[in-house]
Chains A and B, each alone.
Chain A
Amino acid sequence: MKLLASGQVPGNFALRQRLRFRAADGTSGALEAVLQVHCGALVIVGLSPLGQRLFSITQRGYETQVQSFTTQPWPFAPDRVLLDVHRTYLYPVADPPLADGSHTVFLGSFAFVERWQDGRLVERTIPDRLGARMGSVVVSYKGGVAPREVPRRVHLRNGLHDYEIEVETLSRRELICPS
């Protein structure tokens, strides 16, 4: 279990975020991003510091569509961006909260480990596989995150692909999906 179907993501909302990344090849940089879930569709838009669109990823069900607005190669493949978004923001947070300590959590048959402290999720460790190689993605929620909260600051480290991303969520807007 890796991607959730977009229709499984509850609510209609838009998160405006700032990202800072360091890639395996030593590239580092910053960008703005918007994560939107609306009427069963998930949209991620990346914007340059100058406000230019860099890329968009749209997911409907399990189908994904990627658009790039630059010819430069990206330090991360779009499917990894989408996967990281799911792991960090869309995998459900247990409600009621889990007891303090480490827990193995299952999404279908897919297992990962969560660490809870004071009623808040503080870390997720998720296995990542590329062919025969295996590594871990560690998502750290600064200050922890409670059920139905939006994590304010997140650090993600991918041990297999050797990259790190810091994400700050600047705002959350509730959206309406007309019935």
Chain B
Amino acid sequence: MARSLSSALLVLLAFAVLIPEAPVRAASPLPGRETPLDLETLLADFARIPGLAARFHEEKHLALLVEPLETRGTIYFAPPGRLARHTEAPLRSTLLLDGEQLRYASDEDRGALDLAVHPMLGVFVDSFRMLLRGDLPGLQMNFVLELRSVGKPEGRRWELVLEPRAEALKRSLRVLQIFGQGRSVSRLRILERGGDETLMVFTDVDSQRVFTQRELDELFELPAP
């Protein structure tokens, strides 16, 4: 897998690091709303979660294909930086993000990627983790952020829009949208240049999940070959 990823992406890392931090766009309330939720509050809320578990159903709509590619599984997040994606269908596979290391395994294959060497992939994969760990500077460095919210403070619905800053990433990624309510995420939508779109819908979201040591060892490790 590592062979198939562009080493030219290294250029992006340098570019991303050099980008000055631009101001966050003002949070705009959805119609019918009172005081808007602000980014600092939302991210601070996420920074306090003890862990997260959620079922996901992903639909990847490729412009060339008539029907979307569907994937189902479970994601887990353990602060400060461990994210696991366990896919159950159509193929069993595990994807682990821990620090700068992305590791994956399926029945047929396993491997690892250093996100520092593949920054575009890193930004892409890491954006969701940045939200869950409340990493506002990290999000601001890589994306122009816009937060929309509706409802009263408790259980307020929100939508976070992330537009990539790096020109190279802009060429492939148009926008990321993360939808949620309170400290819970409900949907992740990725719109790519060229018309491809990925939608992940989360259900059974437990954003107060406390993992036992045994769960940490099992859920955040690759299965034995």
Given that A49-B106, A50-B104 are contacting pairs, would A72 and B91 also be in contact in the complex, using a CB cutoff of 8 Å? no
Of residues 1 to 59 in B, which have CB atoms within 8 Å of A's CB atoms?
1, 3-8
Closest to A171 in B: B90
* A175 and B67 alpha carbons, distance in the complex (Å): 8
Choice from A38, A48, A51, A52 contacting B66 with Cβ under 8 Å: A38
Interface readout for B112-135 with A: 1 if CB under 8 Å, 0 if not?
A: 000000000100010000000000
Report chain B residues within 8 Å CB of A29: 1, 3-4, 109
Residues of A within 8 A of B141 (CB): none
Q: Within the assembled complex, what's the spacing in Å between the Cα atoms of A168 and B64?
A: 22
CB distance A18 to B108 under 8 Å?
yes
User: In the complex, which residue of chain B has the Cβ closest to the Cβ of A39?
Assistant: B66
What 1/0 flags go to A80-98 for Cβ under 8 Å of B?
A: 0000000000000000000
Partner of A50, one of B6, B8, B67, B95: B95
Q: How large is the interface on B (under 10, 10 to 19, 20 to 34, 35 or more residues)?
A: 20 to 34
Q: Is the CB of B109 within 8 A of A14?
A: no
Chain A window 15-59, contacts with chain B (Cβ cutoff 8 Å), 1 for yes, 0 for no:
010101000000101101010101000010101111111101010
- Which chain A positions have C-beta within 8 A of B6? 70-72
Q: Is the CB of A27 within 8 A of B3?
A: yes
Q: Which residues of A contact B106 (CB under 8 A)?
A: 30, 49
B224 sits at the interface (CB 8 A): no
User: A170 and B90: CB pair below 8 A?
Assistant: yes
> Which residues does chain A contribute within 8 Å of B91, judged by CB atoms?
18, 32, 170
Nearest opposing residue in chain A for B60, CB measure: A51
- Let me know if B196 and A14 touch, CB within 8 A: no
A42 to chain B, nearest CB (A): 11
Chain B at the A interface: SS class: mixed
Residue contact A45 to B65, C-beta cutoff 8 Å: yes
- Chain A CB within 8 A of B216 CB: no
Known contacts A70-B5, A72-B5; A49 and B66 CB within 8 A of each other: no
- Residues in B with CB closer than 8 Å to A51 are 60, 71, 198
Residue among B1, B90, B121, B196 having the largest count of chain A Cβ atoms under 10 Å: B1
Q: How far is the CA of A49 from the CA of B111 in the complex (A)?
A: 9
Given contacts A16-B69, A29-B109, contact A45 B62 (CB under 8 A): yes
A30-B109, A72-B3 known; A56-B64 Cβ under 8 A: yes
- Contacts A/B (CB < 8 Å), 5 sampled: A29-B109, A34-B62, A34-B69, A45-B62, A50-B125
B residues at A contact (CB < 8 Å):
1, 3-8, 60, 62, 64-67, 69, 71, 90-91, 93, 95, 102, 104, 106, 108-109, 111, 121, 125, 196, 198
Other than A45-B64, A70-B4, A72-B4, give 11 A-B pairs with Cβ distance below 8 A: A20-B109, A34-B65, A38-B66, A47-B69, A49-B1, A49-B93, A50-B102, A50-B125, A51-B60, A70-B5, A72-B7
